[in-house]
Amino acid sequence: MKKKIFIFFVTILVVILFFSGVRTNIIDELQLVTIVGFDRAEDDQFRGTVTLSAYSMEEELNNVTLSAVSTSTRELRLKLNAMSSRPIHGGKISAIVVQDELAKSGIFSLLDTYYRDPTIALKSYLCVTRGKAETMLNREFPLQTEIGTYLSDMLSHNVDYGNLPLTNMHLFMRAYYEKGKDPIMPILSYTENALRVEGMALFKDDRFVAEVDLNDSFYLKLIQDGYQHGGLIEVAMDQGEGVAVLREIRSNLDLKTDMDQNVIHIDVKVKSRISEYSGGLITEEKVKDIVEAAKANIASGIRDIVSLMQENQVDPIGLGARQLEKEKISEEEWYNAFQQMDVHVKVDVKIVESGVSQ
């Protein structure tokens, strides 16, 4: 009996000592960061800017920014904390944005610290921004309640229902480390009134080397993720006199690489509906014309995207990663072969609803 009592008290003591050493974070005692931005600065330094959520005396939510020039992300945190009345914490970061000029020189050292931080969600977005990130984060946009929520909701919306391929911090860093695959991230611009998605940035390792506009991002997403819903493509008709708009796209994709024949085979099946047509009534014959025009449009767009990838030796869809598993070749040998490959594209389009005419 005494032995059981002794073990009980020892157990209680161990539990008390264990939990007394655990560090706790109380939200009201922290300054939560929602977005981090990076810009190029002089002498191989960068400017880091963070947005914080703060409430006024009237309990209105305001965006507050802090900014400092630094040589490392660790030093940046130290400088930003020196300006804050409470400890700065990254547990609410929804996006990290990087100035386009800075992204062209490599960004791994900026992202690595955040990727390894367990308090930061791996689903946080990474973005390239036209112009300075600091300027963007200091803007007050009419559509926003809080800029972190505004930005993440806008990107989620464009991934789910628009032309943006799925991307976040985890997928970017995974592609960075994987042989035979290269990362991508959205490109943003901003005006006085709103943020805007411009397209996708293609990276070689951690350097921004090429870009795809928002319209052509449709083809990149088609061969990388595919569509289960959403998406939009405009098809020119009647020698450019009319246009048909296809929405609510569902797709299936078959990719094959034939190293012996030096050919990439891309087979795409698309189901969609015609939501708009500017050429009058949509007859059965007109639907057939729209289908043939859509096939040609999609095939041409895919070939142009793959050509851009070959020109810049980037592979965001991971053709090389698949091939390196099958062939005894190096990553360098794959990219050299990839540049010279022919691209054969086969497209099948099925219209499930003819929609309305204008």
| Residue for token pair 């990839």 | 338
SS3 320: helix
Residue 69 has pLDDT above 60, yes or no: yes
Q: Residue ranges of the alpha helices (H) in the chain?
A: 2-20, 73-81, 100-103, 108-116, 133-137, 147-161, 169-177, 217-224, 284-312, 319-326, 331-340
Chain segment 300-354, per-residue pLDDT in tens: 999 999 999 999 999 999 999 988 888 778 899 999 999 999 999 999 999 987 6
Mean pLDDT for the chain overall = 86
pLDDT band of residue 149 (cuts 50, 70, 90) is confident
Q: What is the pLDDT of residue 186?
A: 97
Query: How confident is the model over 190-231, as pLDDT tens digits?
Result: 988 889 999 999 999 999 999 999 999 999 999 999 998 888
Minimum mean pLDDT among 18-32, 44-58, 63-77, 308-322: which range? 18-32
Q: With contact defined as beta carbons under 8 Å apart, do 154 and 94 qualify?
A: no
* Strand pairing report for 195-204 and 207-213: antiparallel
**pLDDT over 50 at 14, yes or no:** no
**Band of pLDDT at residue 46, cut at 50, 70 and 90:** very high
Instruction: Find out whether 39 and 134 touch, Cβ atoms under 8 Å.
Output: yes
Distance CA 141, CA 175 (A): 33
Which percentage of the chain shows pLDDT scores above 90? 56
> pLDDT: is 353 or 158 the higher one?
158
The answer to whether the Cα torsion of 234, 239, 242, 244 is positive or negative is negative
Among 248, 249, 238, 247, smallest CA distance to 278 is for 238
Highest mean pLDDT among 232-236, 280-284, 335-339: 335-339
pLDDT of residue 291: 93
pLDDT at 112 exceeding the cut of 80: yes
What is the DSSP annotation of 161-228?
HSSPPP--HHHHHHHHHSTT---EEEEEEE-SS-EEEEEEEEEETTEEEEEEETTTHHHHHHHHT--S
Residue 73 identity (one-letter amino acid): T
Q: How far apart are CA 229 and CA 232, in angstroms?
A: 10
Q: How confident is the model at residue 55 (pLDDT cuts 50, 70, 90)?
A: low
Q: How far apart are CA 14 and CA 248, in angstroms?
A: 59
pLDDT digits (tens, 9 = 90+) for 242-266: 899 998 899 999 999 998 899 999 9
Q: How confident is the model at residue 6 (pLDDT cuts 50, 70, 90)?
A: very low
Three-state SS string over 111-139 comes to HHHHHHCCCCCCCCEEEEECCCHHHHHCC
pLDDT exceeds 80 at position 22: no
Identify the band that residue 10 occupies on the pLDDT scale cut at 50, 70 and 90: very low
Q: For residue 18, what pLDDT is reported?
A: 46
Q: Strand 263-277 to strand 342-353: parallel, antiparallel, or no bridges (unpaired)?
A: parallel
Residues of the chain above pLDDT 70, percent: 87
The predicted model scores a pTM of 0.86
The predicted pLDDT at position 278 comes to 84
Which pLDDT score is estimated for 106? 93
CA-to-CA distance for 346 and 265, rounded, in angstroms? 8
**Residue 357: its pLDDT value, please?**
47
pLDDT band, very low/low/confident/very high, at 58 (cuts 50, 70, 90)? low
Structure tokens at 29: 């005692």
C-beta of residue 338 within 8 angstroms of C-beta of residue 313: yes
